Structure 1
Amino acid sequence: MKKIALCLLLVSGLMAAENKDYFGFFAGNADYRLKTSALGVTTRDNMDDTHYSFTLGHYYENSRISGTYTYVDGGVDNFNSNYSFSFAYDFILPVVKDQFSLYAGPVVGYTRLTDGEINLSGINYGGQAGVIVKVINNIELEAGYRFVMGTGNDKVNVSGIDFNLESEYMKTWYAGANIRF
């Protein structure tokens, strides 16, 4: 029994040293920019909401790859179905070895943005940047900024007038924690 316990302890120690997978939980602010055109007049509207994200990823030596699901709480006045899936590749610059790092990299994904008969869902692409602070061995705090351009568009007819709607971009600020395993 002692040999099995010793083997399990050794294997778990090796796995912790080599395996750099992580998951993270984040919350923050999402700001959507929408463009509406009708009868030669163009207006732009911003929707400002709270978002929550869950990320799964893997660290490499000076980079990481991740997949993120983000839910945006639309509130009463904004779109009632709003979430996105995205993939990111970040380059990591250690500032203070094993304690404080900066990161930046490209992001690509899909955003679902609907409300009744309006559907502005589509591909998004852009970049993100932020900081990672190690708290203890497997837990780190992260804060960042993401900017993605949207490709979603729709046409709605209201009282015989065609309105063209376009999703221009989304800016998000976020903060949360990662757990490495």
Structure 2
Amino acid sequence: MKKIALAVLLASGLMAAENADYFGISFGNAELGVDLSVPGLSASTEVDDKHISFTLGHYYEDTARVWAGYSYVDTDSDVDDADAFSIGYDFILPLAENRLSLYADPVIGYTRYEEPGIDISGFHYGAQAGVIVRLIDNIEIEAGYRYLMETGSDTVNVSGIDVDIDADDLKMWYVGANLRF
């Protein structure tokens, strides 16, 4: 009987901790770096647009969280698809009585970028860092920066010359709100 009472006491203590699921929405800027090369010549360029991201995740107390997110990039050109799916595990440093926290984490996922005749979709990996400000118990504001290395590439033929197109990196600034539940 003592073992059962001890197990119930431990379980109730774990459930009382700050474990919580959350949903987040953020807005920001996304820059996709692209390298172009033909035999004997190379150049770099960036595609710069705004994005909206949706995130679902789970907090483990106030020191870590795991998340999965979808980012849609709103392009002004004739791009067919520009979006990314990522997962990450944040290491959180609570400050100021858990009302202000810093975080950093590794990120992996897949970026899809397709234009007519070009597909430089591929896997990505990198890191992000930011700050979380908890307004009330279940609402917080978040801002951060994500840097991802891209693996997508394609070769297109332009007037008989093969042009290699390689996605280099994806840089995202964002600010948004999270709802804990």
Gaps of 5+ in 1: 1-14
Question: 2:99 — aligned with what?
Answer: 99
Alpha-carbon separation, structure 1, partners of 2:110 and 2:55: 15
Q: Are the aligned partners of 1:132 and 1:142 in contact in 2 as well (CA < 8 Å)?
A: yes
Question: 2:76 — aligned with what?
Answer: 75
Q: Are the aligned partners of 1:32 and 1:46 in contact in 2 as well (CA < 8 Å)?
A: yes
Aligned to 1:55, what secondary structure does the other structure show?
strand
Q: Deviations over 1:24-60 (max 9, x none)?
A: 0000000110000012100000111000000000000
If the length of structure 1 is used for normalisation, what is the TM-score? 0.88
- 1:116 Cα offset (Å): 1.0
Give me the CA root mean square deviation.
1.6
Identity %: 54
Q: Deviations over 1:80-136 (max 9, x none)?
A: 310010001110001112200000010000000000110000000000000000111
Q: Are the aligned partners of 1:74 and 1:80 in contact in 2 as well (CA < 8 Å)?
A: no
- 1:19 Cα offset (Å): 4.6
Aligned to 2:98, what secondary structure does the other structure show?
coil
Matching of residue 65 in structure 1 with residue 66 in structure 2: yes
If the length of structure 2 is used for normalisation, what is the TM-score? 0.88
CA pair 130-18 structure 1, distance change in 2 beyond 3 A? closer
Pick which of 38-47 and 149-158 moved more: 38-47
- 1:64 Cα offset (Å): 0.4
Q: Are the aligned partners of 2:19 and 2:60 in contact in 1 as well (CA < 8 Å)?
A: no
Deviating 4+ runs (over 3 angstroms): 15-19
Give the length in aligned residue pairs.
167
